[in-house]
């Protein structure tokens, strides 16, 4: 009886804003309420097995991308927005994601220093090419204290969803003192799709790196918070 009560309560909470086919039971009632209010929800989940989104056509590519990485630091960033009044939201988000030069200046709050910084000091496209509904961009993103990130960006779009992912192509060094993240080990992926009367904005980012006890917290804060800052900025921009 108690189990049935909690399942029913979850289904009621979820159905207020989006169909239960989008999220699983790992989404708590409190988290569902945040989404119901239109807030950006950030979940620090550690491993991929704790994701709260259901695998379906619109989310499969995001999930598969991150499962392949299998990060040991992972975060989900989610927002649900009404479709009515936001009919062109997907196009606006696509435009923001493709405007690489505007990545420079995205605000980032350093918890350790309790100060605001620019997430990227500079952002420059070095190469791009298109194939049908897919766009590939290579860019140099300068991020203190890790230097230039050689980023590989993919954007794909069809009638059902917008997909974006970004991965580092080079090893990232902390203040040029030691290797913090190897190439292809820091990745973020975003999908935007319509679910009934709502838009679902879903992102997941992760870093797969060695857990060194005296650096673990620093690595998690440095990289995961930067991924969260980027995704939250894009979601809240419009």
Separation CA 48–CA 36 (nearest Å): 24
Peptide bond into 145 cis (omega under 30): yes
Separation CA 2–CA 45 (nearest Å): 26
Structure tokens at 111: 């918890």
pLDDT value of position 218: 65
Q: Mean of the per-residue pLDDT values for the chain?
A: 89
Report whether pLDDT(8) > 80.
no
- Across 212-227, average pLDDT: 70
Could you tell me the pTM of the whole model? 0.90
CA angle 160/75/36 to nearest 5° reads 60
Q: Write the pLDDT tens digit of every residue in 78-90.
A: 999 999 999 999 9
Where does the pLDDT of residue 177 fall: very low under 50, low under 70, confident under 90, or very high at 90 and above? confident
Report whether pLDDT(217) > 90.
no
Q: Which domains does the chain have, with CATH numbers?
A: 2-236 (3.30.530.20)
Whether the Cβ atoms of residue 81 and residue 205 lie closer than 8 Å to each other: no
Q: Among residues of the chain, what percentage have pLDDT more than 90?
A: 72
- Across 53-68, average pLDDT: 97
Report whether pLDDT(219) > 70.
no
Which conformational region is residue 184 in: left (phi greater than 0), alpha (psi within -120 to 50 degrees), or beta?
A: left
Q: Which residues pair with 166 in a beta bridge?
A: 153, 188
């Amino acid at each position: 009886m108690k189990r049935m009560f909690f399942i029913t309560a979850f289904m009621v909470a979820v159905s207020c804003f989006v169909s239960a086919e989008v999220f699983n039971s790992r989404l708590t009632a409190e988290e569902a309420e945040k989404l119901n209010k239109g807030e950006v929800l950030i979940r620090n989940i550690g491993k991929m097995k704790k994701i709260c989104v259901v695998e379906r056509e619109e989310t499969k590519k995001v999930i598969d991308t991150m499962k392949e990485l299998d990060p040991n630091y992972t975060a989900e960033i989610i927002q649900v927005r009404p479709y009515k009044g936001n009919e062109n939201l997907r196009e606006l988000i696509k435009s923001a994601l493709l405007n690489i030069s505007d990545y420079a200046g995205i605000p980032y709050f350093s918890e350790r220093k309790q100060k605001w910084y620019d997430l990227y000091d500079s952002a420059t496209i070095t190469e791009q090419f298109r194939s049908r509904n897919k766009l590939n961009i290579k860019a140099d993103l300068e991020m203190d204290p890790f230097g230039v990130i050689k980023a590989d960006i993919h954007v794909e779009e069809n009638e059902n969803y917008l997909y974006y992912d970004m991965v580092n192509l080079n090893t990232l060094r902390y203040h040029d003192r030691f290797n913090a993240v190897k190439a292809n080990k820091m990745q973020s992926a975003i999908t935007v799709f319509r679910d009934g009367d709502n838009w679902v904005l879903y992102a997941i980012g992760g870093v797969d790196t060695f857990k060194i006890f005296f650096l673990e917290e620093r690595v998690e804060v440095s990289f995961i918070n930067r991924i969260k800052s980027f995704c939250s900025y894009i979601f809240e921009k419009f």
